[in-house]
Structure 1
Amino acid sequence: MTSSIRRIPRRMPGWAKVLTAFVLVLVVLFAGVRLAVLPGLRDLFGTETQDRSGPALLKSIQDMSRYDAASGNFQVVVDLEKDAKYLPDVLHGSRTLYVGAGTVDAYVDLGRLGGNDVTVDADRTSATLRLPHARLGKPALDPDRSYAVSKQRGLLDRLGDLFSDNPNSEQAVQKLAVRHIGEAAKDSGLTARAETNTTDMLQGLLSSLGFKEVHITYRS
């Protein structure tokens, strides 16, 4: 009488399954990096971008009465770091070094002139204008001159990007760049330069219209 012995396959322990899945994730991540670095493979597995956007719609029109008299160009280096309290940076955390470039305009709102702010003598040879002080516009970040120098992210952050609708978002550093540029504009003397340029412009304009004396002041 013969008997056959059938081997029962051994089940993989739970910790081994987790380790195997972790290794597979690392292989996929590093494979993506190799594909981006090796010449030829990038073109083979590359993507094609198509712009399927609809036409831009005009929502409203606003009349402008301000005179943009000066514009400042600014650049700031943003170093934003986010750390986890109980995890090392290699697992969870990020640090982004970002160069933000933008402009801030300084303007005088001529639409705020009232009837008592403009005085002309009877001979129409002398004019006195009382203008509002210059103001700063909102900082405008230039995407063509702004860029990320480096990005460091923990492993959990990289894995989270795989399931994110907006991976590698730079919105946080862009907001910081805009805020720093706006703060720098306040101490740059832009408003004083704008008032000087506005005064020169109005004096030249009224002089060309026949006024011999043009006095311009700024009210608080």
Structure 2
Amino acid sequence: MTTSRTTLPEASPGRRRRWRYVAGLLVLAVLLVVGGRLAWSWLNPLGERSIDRSQPVLLQSIKDMSRFEAATGTFQVVVDLEKDANFLPDAVKGTRTLFVGAGGVDAYVDFSAIAADGVTVSQDRTEATIRLPRAQLEKPNLDNSRSYVFAQQRGLLDRVQDFLSGSPGDQRELYLLAEKKITEAAVASDLRARADANTKAMLTGMLKSLGFSKVTVKFTDEA
């Protein structure tokens, strides 16, 4: 029995040189495209790049904390601020902005305000009485990631002014107004009462774990 085997013809030296030439052209084309993009990114007159030249952070002060953060309230408000011109229609001069402000308010009890005789302990060290100041509210802390301009209407002159100045307008007034409204809402809420109750529960549990069988926590405005 005879087995036949077919042998493929070898590529000629000229054909191999052509394939190498074509492959070299492809590699060169890829390098030119990549290099061109890099060069354009550097030479493009309209391109932008960010350079951080900020100075090192300077520590200005350190304060010892002597207060108990007893409660935190989360608030959100929609600020509707409108500004009109005296003798011009809103389409010409005037703005109206809807701003969503979101942030938190902390309620705390200042332990450093406890009087010298604010803590009394019985002779057998089984009873303790503490007189505390009432909880206070911290300044609202707006969350920039959740605070934003929802909608805005501007007159023709306002749009021209913003275009010439290159700025969409100062938003500090919106933030300050949102903080003011959140502060008013926090004062009207039960946030301070919740902080008072949490402080009493914390001190009672801590002193009882230290061996006091009877713990009385009062506030300075209580009889």
TM-score normalised by the chain length of structure 1 = 0.77
Q: Kindly provide the amino acid, as one letter, of the partner of residue 68 in structure 2.
A: Y
Secondary structure class of the residue paired with 2:201: helix
Q: Which moved more, 1:153-162 or 1:69-78?
A: 153-162
In the TM superposition, residue 91 of structure 1 has moved relative to its aligned partner by 1.4
In the TM superposition, residue 47 of structure 1 has moved relative to its aligned partner by 3.5
Q: Does 1:68 align with 2:69?
A: yes
Percentage of pairs with the same residue = 54
Q: 1:161, 1:148 → 2: CA distance?
A: 16
TM-score normalised by the chain length of structure 2 = 0.76
Q: Which moved more, 1:55-64 or 1:68-77?
A: 55-64
Q: 2:59, 2:167 → 1: CA distance?
A: 27
Q: Which residue of 2 aligns with 1:214?
A: 215
Question: What's the C-alpha RMSD, in Å, of the aligned pairs?
Answer: 1.8
Unaligned 5+ runs, structure 1: 1-43
Q: Does 1:77 align with 2:78?
A: yes
Q: Which residue of 2 aligns with 1:171?
A: 172
In the TM superposition, residue 66 of structure 1 has moved relative to its aligned partner by 1.0
Deviations 1:64-118 (A, max 9, x none): 1111100000000001000001111111110100100011011100011122111
Q: Kindly provide the amino acid, as one letter, of the partner of residue 130 in structure 1.
A: R
Return closer, same or farther for 1:151/1:54 CA change in 2, 3 Å cut-off.
Answer: same
Q: Kindly provide the amino acid, as one letter, of the partner of residue 146 in structure 1.
A: S
In the TM superposition, residue 174 of structure 1 has moved relative to its aligned partner by 1.1
In the TM superposition, residue 135 of structure 1 has moved relative to its aligned partner by 0.8
Secondary structure class of the residue paired with 2:204: helix
Q: Which residue of 2 aligns with 1:183?
A: 184
In the TM superposition, residue 166 of structure 1 has moved relative to its aligned partner by 4.8
Superposition pairs for residues 28-177 of structure 1, below 5 Å? 47-164=48-165, 166-177=167-178
* Deviating 4+ runs (over 4 angstroms): none
Q: 2:142, 2:196 → 1: CA distance?
A: 24
Secondary structure class of the residue paired with 1:111: helix
| Number of aligned residues | 178
Return closer, same or farther for 1:76/1:199 CA change in 2, 3 Å cut-off.
Answer: same
